[in-house]
Structure 1
Amino acid sequence: MKRSLARTGLPPKLLHATTAAERRANEREAHAYFNDPSRPEHLRQFTVFAESLTEHMLKNGALMREFAEAYVETRARRGLPPVPVENIVYARAVEIVSEQMSRVDLLTSRDVAAAVRATKVEVRREERQRQFDGLVKGVVAQVHRDRGQYVVDSEMENRASILRGKPRTSVETLVARFAMQEAFERLPTSSLTIEDARNAARIVTLRIGASFQARQDAVDDRIHRLPLV
């Protein structure tokens, strides 16, 4: 194996030799872990605690953050050392969820820390999705409201591009771009990434294109229905 790895330019396999005493100690720890009679109840408590904490933060996180920010400001006015808002929020959330549960006696500090980490990930994911959906919805509504002005701006942009020797860009793409630029100034987007913004722009462009096509089809249909002179 060493020669084969060397011929392919790969580093040698890393091996960690363990003594007989270390192996016996590992076996004892594994046996104690898997044969602990309290393990099922421990896992049940952890699962319920983690799920309840996530549910509580998704439902009440915004309100708890407002109270925590006010508390931090009060401490600052009194000259007390600063405390991170997130620490206050999660400390209070852990306290509330623990009080609501019937049993938490088997939970350790590591269990609580793991539940908090999992909750933070889920809260960030939920907030990111909420902002993404709000951005798409807000941009589409903005386009429908100011469609005429965006179309005029798109035509001017294309004329300027042609004068510079560049190809035309579809009206839908330009309208989506202009509307996205304005939406980013007034909608919450702090949790979104650049890739999220690009995906939102693509979705908006598709929806705008479908809307524009539907309007054009309606105009064509009215033209065809006009009586012949």
Structure 2
Amino acid sequence: MARNFSASVRRVTLALFVLQLALLPMMAIASDADPEQDFCVGDSNNPTIVNGLVCKNPAEVKANDFKFSGLATPGNTNNPLGSNVTAAFAAEFPGINTLGISMARLDFAKGGLVPPHTHPRATEIIFVVEGSLFVGFVSTNETLYATTLHKGDVFVFPRGLLHFELNVCDGTATAIAALNSQNPGTQIQAVALFNSKINEVVLEKAFGLGEKAIQHIESTVEAANPVN
């Protein structure tokens, strides 16, 4: 009996080990792939389409390829949302290509809003440089986690979850975001739903609204993406 029990334990242990090995590829693709060389500065002049940017010839790489100054200048917040997001993703900053990281600068006019949106490929963490922001995200069970951040505060938005930032101070506000993907993707929910030519019957049933109400929303949703 003891030998049979030990044999069963060994079989279960072996099965769990095999299952773990089988899951390793799935775990590996849960975020940007690990680099297989020191760096791969993106070659924006290469038209080849790959999952990332084609590498520049290492012999042509310079120190400035790893430098980006675009976050030093405030973005233009003179728009209906009163906000501007300046991205430092691989497209703007080729030096981070294959490194699995990126940054962005968030500028807000008084009352400015970065509307509810998602980053399907990245978790985001923000640091408030100036001002106060009311921020939050919604979990997959429709629970809202929201709070007010002040200068020096940090907040994290889990990967793929709907989140927002609203300036609640009397003046302008600025935050810096870091994301664990070179190309996190941004989908603003209102724009995706009401400016993507989805059949209005779908929207009417989804929101419980009539045809005229849907058409009014479609005509007033600001299609401009605050991401530069």
TM-score between the two structures when normalised by the length of structure 2:
0.21
- Indicate the structure (1 or 2) with the bigger Cα radius of gyration: 1
Q: Which has the higher helix share?
A: 1
Q: Whose strand proportion is higher, 1 or 2? A: 2
- TM-score w.r.t. length of structure 1: 0.20
